[in-house]
Each structure stands twice: as C-alpha cells, then as structure tokens.
Amino acid sequence: MTPAADRTAFLAGIREAAARGRAHRVALNPQATQSQSYVGGGDDPVATFLAEWIAVGGQAERVRGAAGVRSYLAAFLDAVRPASVLRWSHPLLARLRIDSLLAERNIKIAAWDELERQSAEERWPTAFAADLGITSVDWAVAETGTLALCSLPGQGRVVSLLPPTYLAILEPSQIVPDLFDLFERLEERKHDLPSNFALVTGPSKTGDIELKLTTGVHGPGNVNVLVVED
C-alpha cells in the first residue's frame, strides 16, 4: 500500500470512529436543577456504591467489624502478596489496627506522614517501590461509585496513585448518596479546602486514537474497596 493509500485508510478510520461516537451523544438539559437531576443512593447506599464501583472495573467487599476486616485482609494479602505497603495516616486505619495485620505477614510499612518528613531523595524511592497503597477516604459517592480524597498532612495523593494495587477502606458514614451531596460537603469546607482534591472512579484507564482501552497506565490497575460496617 502506498503512503497516500495509508493516509486515506487512516483518515477513513478516524471518520468512522467519530461517526460512531456521535451516535452516543449526551443530551444536555439546560433547565436541570438539583431537584430535577438528583439521583441519590437508593435504599442501601452502600450496596449502590459497591455496585457502581464494580461496574467500572473495581473490586469491592462489605464486611462487619474487626473480624471481618481480618478475614478479608488475610485473603486479599494472600492474593496480592505485597512486599511493601504505602499507607495514609488515618483514624479509621489506626482503629482497625491495619499495621498489626501487615506486620504479622512481615510486610514493610511506609506511612506517608513519616515520608513527608524525609528528604525527596529518601522519600521517593520508598514510595515508588511500594506494591500496595492503602487509604481511607474523605467521602464516597453512591450514585457514581466514586472515592473523594483530600490531600492532607499524612494523607498524600500519591498513596492512591503510585502503587500498582490500591485498597481504600471506609465506613458507611463516609458514603454520601449523590454528587450533589458531595458538593454540599465541599461547600461546608470551603474555607479549609485542601491543595488537591481527587475523585477516583475505578482503575486508571486511557484510550488511544484507535479506541483501544488500556487499564492501569496512569495509576493502579487493580483497585479495591472495603466497606467496614460496625
């Protein structure tokens, strides 16, 4: 095939892909308001959140109490087999004694609040070497299966971005029904917003010009959520 023919075939492929994309346009309603567009989290926001998270490629479980956490983590760590973990410093993780569960398996633990006090030369090799990142969340959105993470001291955004496997541990009280509810929480904190606020919906994905979807390119490809009910 000549260069001209290659170019013609390439452009024809783009036109066909663009035409397919136009068939799925979203109809915008300029009259939409919160009362008209509110979806909510249904009768069981936890179940709604988990279903939405799984639908976009994540994995999720809901367990009860410390015994449920221990049982889940035993199976999870056996499957992932991390040599090192990068984690947030968060009251929920401390209350669940996550460090003790990791130490029982001789897993090296790097707490982000400790790494923050190190020089860049010391911090980044440790962060990049982690096999698993563990955080809690500020909020989670049932409607979309989204995690909302504020960058705060001891709770750096890279913990959810750098390791190839990621686990978020949260409680039902951290789940809000709808994105509108999330915006209300942010409005309440408008005078104390973090420098960075991330919304995470499933594993990292990217698509190229040929419409081929690749998972785990710009962040973890294996993302997991554990909801702990008391």
Model confidence over 6-43: pLDDT tens digits? 788 888 888 887 777 666 555 556 665 666 678 889 99
Q: Is residue 33 part of a domain?
A: no
- Helix residue spans in the chain (DSSP H): 3-22, 34-37, 45-55, 65-80, 91-95, 98-103, 112-116, 120-129, 179-188
Q: Is residue 166 part of a domain?
A: yes
Q: What is the CATH number of the domain that holds 168?
A: 3.40.50.10420
CA dist., res. 127 & res. 131, Å (int): 9
**Stated pTM of the model:** 0.82
Q: Is residue 4 part of a domain?
A: no
Q: Is residue 221 part of a domain?
A: yes
Q: Is residue 187 part of a domain?
A: yes
Residues 6 or more apart whose Cβ sits within 8 Å of residue 161: 133, 219, 220
Total number of domains constituting the chain = 1
Q: Is residue 185 part of a domain?
A: yes
Q: Label the pairing between strands 213-215 and 205-207.
A: antiparallel
Q: Is residue 12 part of a domain?
A: no
CA dist., res. 107 & res. 84, Å (int): 5
Residues spanned by the domain of 155:
40-229
| pLDDT, tens digit (0-9, with 9 covering 90-100), for 166-215 | 999 999 999 999 999 999 999 998 888 888 999 999 887 777 666 676 77
